[in-house]
Amino acid sequence: MEKSMDSASKAMLKLAESQDLATIWDRYAAQTPQCGFGELGLCCRNCLQGPCRIDPFGEGATHGACGATADTIVARNLVRAIAAGCAAHSGHAKHLAHTLLKSAQGQAPDYPIRDEGKLKALAARLGLDTEGLEVAEIARQVAEVALADFSEKETPVAWAATNVTQGRVETFVKLDVVPTGIDASISEIMHRTHYGVDADPVNLLLGGVKCALADFAGCAMGSDLADVLFGTPQPVVSRANLGVLNPEAVNIGLHGHSPILSDLIAQVAHDLDDAAKAAGAAAGINLVGLCCTGNEVLMRHGIPMATHSVSQELAIATGALDAMVVDYQCIMPSLGTLAECFHTKLITTMPIAKIPGAVHIEFHEDKAGQAAREIIRLGIEAFKKRDPQKVHIPDQQSTLMAGFSTEAIVGALSAVNEDDPLKPLIDAIVAGNILGVCLFAGCNNVRIPQDENFLIMAKALAKENVLLLATGCGAGAFARHGLLTSEATEAYAGEGLKATLTAIGQAVGLPGPLPLVLHMGSCVDNARPVQVAVAVANKLSVDLDKLPVVASAPEATTEKAISIGTYAVAAGLPTHVGVIPPVMGSQLVAKVLTEDIKGLLGGYFIVDTDPVTSAEKLLSAIRERRAGLGL
Amino acid sequence: MKEVFVHLDRCQGCRSCQLACAVAHSQSRNLFLAVSETPAPRYRLYIERGDGLSVPLTCRHCDPAPCLEACIAGALYRDERGAVRRREEACVGCWTCLMVCPYGVVGREKERKVAVKCDRCPDLDLPACVTACPTGALVYAEAEDFGADIRRDAAGVVGRAVMSPEGVG
């Protein structure tokens, strides 16, 4: 099996092999064959009488020591994964809420409010009366409402309730899955999956839906507050792949998920260009992004993306990366060991995310600019130790257009119809020029040749005129292969889609059509496409589960992807997963997730590891929805 | 002739060998599909607890084999690799083979009432249980090589004891 479809990754893997550098692919190979009980979700480690395993073939144990069945164990394990995903996204959002509060209280001078319009719109959406208030006071109130969303309240989580259709609200109330606190939902999952609490698999899964809605709130909050503090993304042109590393520059990688430190680094980096030049780097400082921190600084500053997800180690293996600055989530612990084989300084910055082998520079909002400069200086110092013999930068880089926030998409549509921006989109869907919409999200997964599923599925759907959106490392996959370009639209879009994207492209003054795939941001930004869908649904007076909108995480890896997938289903979307999740040990759970849940929420999971048949299934789901709308 | 041998100090009791065995003897040979097959795929080796130790018990393919000698229906035979195997159509489910097996490693397929036992995976280079074992407790080796490995380890222990500063002599 190919390890990657990306030629830069392939070139680096060849090099890594020749130099005996272990990568995720080697470690994964050493893990195979993996434990079948784990793959099926049939192992329970929730108490000290375990681990207990259920024999999937019915010959051995049919119950855990406590009496839990396969259904109970699989459901418990799944909802714990959702809670972990929710904790990660909402931890990110909570960090932003604290930063916003410090900004409002004058304790974080490096964090002014950069998008007052978004702040005011947000305050209005939250029902705050901000008439005559200073910006700082509005920011303080919004931050207070955000922080209040984390603990248990008498009222629904504001960021969930104000971001969905009325129809969704009614469905969630009926199913009793309305979260009343984000952290409370996570803690409730931990409680109900503790020894001897919830044994009913369906009740457990509904608890998982509730927690996934809390995750949706955390995601939406994360995007909103990042926009307020750092600006709402607007279309931007940049480049992607390892070729963005510059042999003549001090190359600093920004990796993880948070914009809080990385945006500051992006703001101050070029103040130190002269210091970099003095150290011998003729091109000064070159910031490059990895994973979703990369997406954050791409969207707002046009910083090029080095690589994403499974190929993150390869950026260090180029020998040209002087520092890798990390915050939290999806940062492989292996980077610490790998950096020791090179001059690269791995710099951890968050108190909850330290890695053996890294330098830790703890980040605090009140001295953010100072920390950002200190980090860049470390990169310059490391550059002086770079060994030119070890530098191997692959040539590959693709141009791209990103920055398609909800506001940017509506802005582009306004250029076509200023009075009624959604009308051109709805007209195109009604006329069939756009058959439907697919959001590609999620990660790469070492089990799948990197990017293969993304590429095959996107091309198959685009040919059938499906409008493609992407976030997170999925957007990175498309970026590497040149799918975030007008040229890709010309090459792969069906006629109707091409005409629509060309018309919008012309209206906004682009030389060609909009890109084949619209990059909407990092994985926390998955609430952005939901916001677009909610606006369309409200305008058409239908609920989300009637729209020809689907989602896919064709190479999913993380627990965050599991919770995102679950909230996509809760939002009413047919949601494809290209990796078999650990639920197949319970036929009941598998059936609920792929069939029965449709009757409750409208959305449902499609599990298929074959990208060709997966694309066909998504197309038929879109056509079924169109038929339901009489289209 | 290679056999499945067990490093008795290495088994962690994870039962990965059993799942792999059942999958290797399923119709689909795919874990996710095998779990819903009828008849349910059966595994042919066992993990028993022996005085605190997890002990994998596999067919030793004895020669002469009590099961083969005792099979009243002539359903058991020895193949060209020396493995004792069962002809499915001939088995009458009398369980004589099980009664005479000193390890009790003959199982039963409930649906068809036939005996199931290790066939040492005739289609595979390496038996599925050995491939699946994450700790190397199960190995597929010639008896001579397995013994040589143990002797080499033992010699290492003796050597270290003798050569250490506080050692013998």
**How confident is the model over B119-130, as a mean pLDDT?**
96
pLDDT, tens digit (0-9, with 9 covering 90-100), for B49-84: 888 899 999 999 999 999 999 999 999 999 999 999
* A35 in contact with B, Cβ within 8 Å: yes
- The owner of tokens 């003897």 is B25
pLDDT value for A1: 84
* B38 in contact with A, Cβ within 8 Å: no
* Contact (Cβ atoms closer than 8 angstroms) between residue A86 and residue A215: yes
Structure tokens at A286: 């070159």
Structure tokens at A111: 């964090």
Evaluate if residue A100 carries a pLDDT over 70. Answer: yes
Taking CA–CA distances from A51, the nearest residue in chain B reads: B14
- Please state, in angstroms and rounded to a whole number, the distance separating the CA atoms of residues A472 and A222: 14
pLDDT, tens digit (0-9, with 9 covering 90-100), for A219-228: 999 999 999 9
Structure tokens at A341: 């084989």
* A582 in contact with B, Cβ within 8 Å: no
Would you state the torsion angle of the CA atoms of residues A182, A185, A190, A191, taken in this order, to the nearest 10 degrees? 130
Distances (CA, A) of A375 to A119, A328, A333, A349: 30, 16, 20, 9
pLDDT value for A315: 98
Burial of A631 (0-12, 13-18, 19+ CB in 10 A): middle
* A40 in contact with B, Cβ within 8 Å: yes
* A57 in contact with B, Cβ within 8 Å: yes
Predicted TM-score (pTM) of the model is 0.93
* Contact (Cβ atoms closer than 8 angstroms) between residue A411 and residue A405: no
Backbone φ and ψ of A626, nearest 5°: -60, -45
Structure tokens at A603: 């959305």
Biggest CA–CA distance in chain A, Å, is 72
Of A33, A58, A585, the CB nearest to B40: A58
- Strands A236-240 and A398-402, by their bridges, are antiparallel
Residue A525 carries which DSSP code? G
Taking CA–CA distances from B48, the nearest residue in chain A reads: A60
Backbone φ and ψ of A580, nearest 5°: -75, 115
* Contact (Cβ atoms closer than 8 angstroms) between residue A82 and residue A190: no
* Contact (Cβ atoms closer than 8 angstroms) between residue A109 and residue A205: no
- Please state, in angstroms and rounded to a whole number, the distance separating the CA atoms of residues A347 and A362: 9
* Contact (Cβ atoms closer than 8 angstroms) between residue A392 and residue A318: yes
Mean pLDDT for chain A overall: 97
Taking CA–CA distances from B26, the nearest residue in chain A reads: A57
pLDDT value for B168: 59
Backbone φ and ψ of A90, nearest 5°: -75, -25
Would you state the torsion angle of the CA atoms of residues A444, A445, A450, A451, taken in this order, to the nearest 10 degrees? -40
Put simply, the answer to whether A37 touches B23 (Cβ < 8 Å) is no
* B47 in contact with A, Cβ within 8 Å: no
Q: What is the CA radius of gyration of chain A?
A: 24
- Please state, in angstroms and rounded to a whole number, the distance separating the CA atoms of residues B138 and B136: 5
* Contact (Cβ atoms closer than 8 angstroms) between residue A261 and residue A372: yes
Q: Is the dihedral of CA B119, B125, B131, B135 positive or negative?
A: positive
* A53 in contact with B, Cβ within 8 Å: yes
Backbone φ and ψ of A361, nearest 5°: -115, 100
pLDDT value for B165: 78
pLDDT, tens digit (0-9, with 9 covering 90-100), for A29-88: 999 888 899 999 999 999 999 999 999 998 889 999 999 999 999 999 999 999 999 999
Indicate the SS3 state at residue A401. Answer: strand
Taking CA–CA distances from A588, the nearest residue in chain B reads: B36
Q: What is the distance in angstroms between the Cα of B32 and the nearest Cα belonging to chain A?
A: 6
pLDDT, tens digit (0-9, with 9 covering 90-100), for B11-56: 988 999 999 999 999 999 999 999 999 999 999 999 998 888 999 9
User: Count of CB atoms within 10 A of residue A334's CB?
Assistant: 18
Residues in chain B: 169
Evaluate if residue B167 carries a pLDDT over 70. Answer: no
Give the ipTM.
0.77
Number of Cα atoms under 13 Å in the Cβ half of residue A631: 20
Contacts of A59 in chain B (CB under 8 A): 40, 42-43, 107
pLDDT, tens digit (0-9, with 9 covering 90-100), for A246-296: 999 999 999 999 999 999 999 999 999 999 999 999 999 999 999 999 999
User: Count of CB atoms within 10 A of residue A591's CB?
Assistant: 12
Residue B27, amino acid: Q
- Which runs of consecutive H residues, i.e. helices, occur in chain B? 16-24, 31-34, 66-70, 96-100, 128-132, 143-163
Put simply, the answer to whether B16 touches A56 (Cβ < 8 Å) is no
Of B20, B22, B42, the CB nearest to A33: B20
**How confident is the model over A13-37, as a mean pLDDT?**
94
Number of Cα atoms under 13 Å in the Cβ half of residue A524: 34
* B96 in contact with A, Cβ within 8 Å: no
Indicate the SS3 state at residue A153. Answer: coil
- Please state, in angstroms and rounded to a whole number, the distance separating the CA atoms of residues A68 and A200: 10
Q: What is the distance in angstroms between the Cα of A43 and the nearest Cα belonging to chain B?
A: 10
Residue A575, amino acid: T
- Interface-testing mutation among A42, A54, A57, A591, with chain B (most B C-beta atoms within 10 A): A57
* Contact (Cβ atoms closer than 8 angstroms) between residue A89 and residue A121: no
Residue B126 carries which DSSP code? S
- Strands B107-109 and B114-116, by their bridges, are antiparallel
pLDDT, tens digit (0-9, with 9 covering 90-100), for A465-475: 999 999 999 99
pLDDT value for A237: 97
Buried b (16+ CB within 10 A) or exposed e, A193-215: beeeebbebeebbbbbbbbbbbb
Instruction: For Cα atoms A105, A106, A112, give the angle at the middle one, nearest 5 degrees.
Output: 105
- The owner of tokens 């990754």 is A9
- Strands A436-440 and A305-307, by their bridges, are unpaired
Backbone φ and ψ of A328, nearest 5°: -145, 155
Q: How many helices (H) and strands (E) does chain B have?
A: 6, 8
Evaluate if residue B169 carries a pLDDT over 80. Answer: no
